[in-house]
């Protein structure tokens, strides 16, 4: 399974962000550019590292008119505990059946016994739902290059890459 590519139109979805609230890709992109950060699961050391990196860079992403959203197969209950434990202020969406990870081509066949868990992947999606950047890895130990993500976002605003 290969991930979607730059230039593709991002498939739509609607996922729970809490017990009583769902959000769609259309709602997310209506506000501008979205950074979709897929990750295998809450509370693992590498995933905690990654999401805290995004948390720490959140104000800079905001200055680049980009909203960060995390997506994994964990439940909204687990996401809420993870958000509180790590002071995560952006949305974590529950892809509990791994359908969105599959749509984006970033689902493991088997990850430590978890069928369909999301590969660590990042997609930058613009207001028109066009994918402007893709990064995905087979190794869950690898982290995305936040400097490269920032460069891409800056370039989207008309700056030099």
| CA torsion through residues 94, 7, 29, 11, sign | negative
CB 132 within 8 A of CB 124: yes
Count of CA atoms in the C-beta half-sphere (13 A) of 84: 5
CB 129 within 8 A of CB 24: no
**Residue of 4, 47, 117, 118 marked catalytic:** 47
Report the C-alpha gap between 46 and 39 in whole angstroms: 9
Q: What are phi and psi of 120, to 5 degrees?
A: -65, 115
Asked if 47 is an active-site residue, the reply is yes
Q: Which residues are catalytic?
A: 47
């Amino acid at each position: 399974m290969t991930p979607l590519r730059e230039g593709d139109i991002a498939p739509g979805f609607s996922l729970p962000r809490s017990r009583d609230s769902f959000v769609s890709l259309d709602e997310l992109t209506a506000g501008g550019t979205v950074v979709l950060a897929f990750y295998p699961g809450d509370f693992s050391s590498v995933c905690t590292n990654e999401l805290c990196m995004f948390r720490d860079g959140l104000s800079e992403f905001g200055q680049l008119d980009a909203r960060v959203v995390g997506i994994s197969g964990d439940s909204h209950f687990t996401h809420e505990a993870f958000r509180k434990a790590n002071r995560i202020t952006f949305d974590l969406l529950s892809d509990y059946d791994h359908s969105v990870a599959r749509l984006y081509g970033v689902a493991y066949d088997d990850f430590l016994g978890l069928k369909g868990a999301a590969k660590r992947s990042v997609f930058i999606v613009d207001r028109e739902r066009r994918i402007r950047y893709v990064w995905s890895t087979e190794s869950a130990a690898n982290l995305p290059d936040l400097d490269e993500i920032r460069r891409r976002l800056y370039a989207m605003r008309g700056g030099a890459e």
